[in-house]
Amino acid sequence: MKIAIYGVSRAGKDYLIEKVVAQLNAGDQMRALHMKGSATLNILAKKNFNTSFKALTEEKKESLRREFVRLMEKNEAEYDVVLVDGHYAFMDGKEYRVVFTEDDRNAYDAFFYLDTPSERIVQFSQNSQGDKKNAEITAEEVRLWKSFEKDQMTSLCRDLNKELMVLAGKTAVSVEVITSYVSRQRIAERNRDILKSKITDIAKQQRTELTILLDADGTLIPYDSAEIMAKFLNDINVDDIKTIFKRYDAYCFSAFYDVAKYYSSNNSYDDFVIASERAAKEVEIRSEFIQLFDEVDANFIILTAGFSLLWRNVIEKYNLKNISLIAGNTLYDECIVGQSEKGFVVDVLKSMGKSVICFGDALVDRDMFLKSDLGYLMLDERKRSIIPHLENDYRFEYVSFGSLTIESMKHTTFDEIKRKIQQVSAHSFESELIEVVEGIL
């Protein structure tokens, strides 16, 4: 795992990282390394060009930055976590000289920003020695510098589908935030290993090379089954779930993990068994999908961030013998499914030579859609935040269950969907899928 911690000069990045590394290395479960950004670049400059990094031409600086990334990747093979202190930009008069590169953009798994109080940075700058000393800088200049960097880095992280995690508390709090993140990511990695094993086992048993992935809540059914489950569980409030997701900028694994902890905190496994049996009696799959299952011979997988036990009961209720299930949103489940996990499932299927068609309705399905060969959006009367990610892409069409329409997407019907799926599944070759896609165009 490679983690970058950015911040303006004299923010205290080195000090913070040393504290984090010390805590991560305190046990025997993890090895962490601090790669000092500026110091390492200067060592490389001295070794390769016998001068300081600052004195090099931009071309030579760029070559050393690429060498730095290669060295970091080499260290990652030896250490569980590599932490790097980085600079996004430097003040250049009234402007900012951005030193963040494309290599930096693609090198890290996570980005943190150390937002040290401006007055403290001024004090550190004035008390520093040598070329690190800056006796002229003001708190307002630092504030504007930080604001520029945070705005720019927030935008680039959004493009990368990552969150810029801002550290604005005391050092001890920042250390706890970073170490907790590392622990959570290790859980996420184990979660993906389980997911990969499950989907691999399912795919090996499939009869054809076409897999159809189906979201559950909002897709197979026109509502959120969590609202039904909440009636039969202890101390569950759907508004609390929404509050948890609002803590994060994106549908990241940490958000779904926090939801899993929330669901599991006041309910035992037996509680979920009983609630799932009762809730399944109230769940009604859309008739269009029941007909699809009856009329189309395909490999269907329900892939949902919903309750695994509930959907097992629903599958049994409808006697859907040929439909597989990958689900999980409690600590009692084998795995937890979220936005990135849905995309990961598609990656695994594609790596096994499968073609993938998906059905979904919400932003949590975004990664699944974008990585699939074809996708169908289930649209009701709610304006969905996933739409901007799918519009004007010929691979995606929508089915409307209300009066809402999307001008930038093609409307379709279940009869047309069945025809296309039958056309692809009848041949099970990638060339046939291409013909279907070309037919859409």
Average pLDDT over residues 319-334: 94
DSSP class of residue 217 equals B
For the chain, the average pLDDT equals 90
Distance CA 60, CA 62 (A): 5
Residue 259 has pLDDT above 80, yes or no: yes
Distance CA 74, CA 40 (A): 14
Surface-to-core class of residue 248, CB atoms within 10 Å of its CB (0-12 exposed, 13-18 middle, 19+ buried): middle
Which residues share a beta bridge with 228?
A: none
AA identity, residue 289: F
Three-state secondary structure call for residue 194: helix
pLDDT band at residue 413 using 50, 70 and 90 as cut-offs? very high
CATH topology match: 2-168 vs 190-440:
yes
pLDDT band at residue 51 using 50, 70 and 90 as cut-offs? very high
Q: What is the pLDDT of residue 429?
A: 43
CA 386 to chain centre: 15
Average pLDDT over residues 134-148: 90
Which residues share a beta bridge with 358?
A: 213, 375
Three-state secondary structure call for residue 40: helix
DSSP class of residue 216 equals T
DSSP character string of 363-416? GGGHHHHHHSSEEEEEE-SS--TTHHHHTT-TTEEEEESSS---TTSEE--HHH
Distance CA 212, CA 300 (A): 5
Distance CA 114, CA 14 (A): 11
**Residue owning tokens 């600086």:** 61
Q: What is the pLDDT of residue 121?
A: 92
Q: What is the pLDDT of residue 359?
A: 98
Q: What is the pLDDT of residue 220?
A: 97
Q: Is the pTM of this model over 0.75?
A: yes
pLDDT band at residue 152 using 50, 70 and 90 as cut-offs? very high
Q: Which carries the bigger pLDDT value, residue 417 or residue 54?
A: 417
Residue 73 has pLDDT above 50, yes or no: yes
Whether the CB-CB separation of 271 and 285 falls below 8 Å is answered with no
CA 13 to chain centre: 26
Distance CA 387, CA 189 (A): 29
Domain range annotation of the chain: 2-168, 190-440
Determine the CATH number of domain 190-440: 3.40.50.1000
Average pLDDT over residues 276-300: 94
Convert 113-127 to b/e letters by CB count within 10 Å (16 or more is b). Answer: bbbbebeebbebbee
Three-state secondary structure call for residue 435: helix
In terms of CATH, what superfamily is 2-168?
P-loop containing nucleotide triphosphate hydrolases (3.40.50.300)
Q: For residue 312, count other CB atoms closer than 10 A to its CB.
A: 15
Three-state secondary structure call for residue 123: helix
Out of 12-26, 68-82, 153-167, least confident range: 153-167
Q: How far is CA 157 from CA 29, 82, 177, 254, in A?
A: 29, 19, 18, 16
pLDDT tens digit string along 261-272? 999 999 999 999
In the chain, what is the greatest distance between 2 CA atoms, to the nearest angstrom?
Answer: 77
pLDDT tens digit string along 95-131? 999 999 888 998 999 999 999 999 999 998 888 777 6
Residue 14 has pLDDT above 60, yes or no: yes
Q: Which carries the bigger pLDDT value, residue 435 or residue 231?
A: 231
Whether the CB-CB separation of 425 and 300 falls below 8 Å is answered with no
| CB-side neighbour CA atoms (13 Å) of 329 | 24
Distance CA 55, CA 62 (A): 13
Residue 137 has pLDDT above 50, yes or no: yes
Q: For residue 52, count other CB atoms closer than 10 A to its CB.
A: 12
Distance CA 99, CA 31 (A): 29
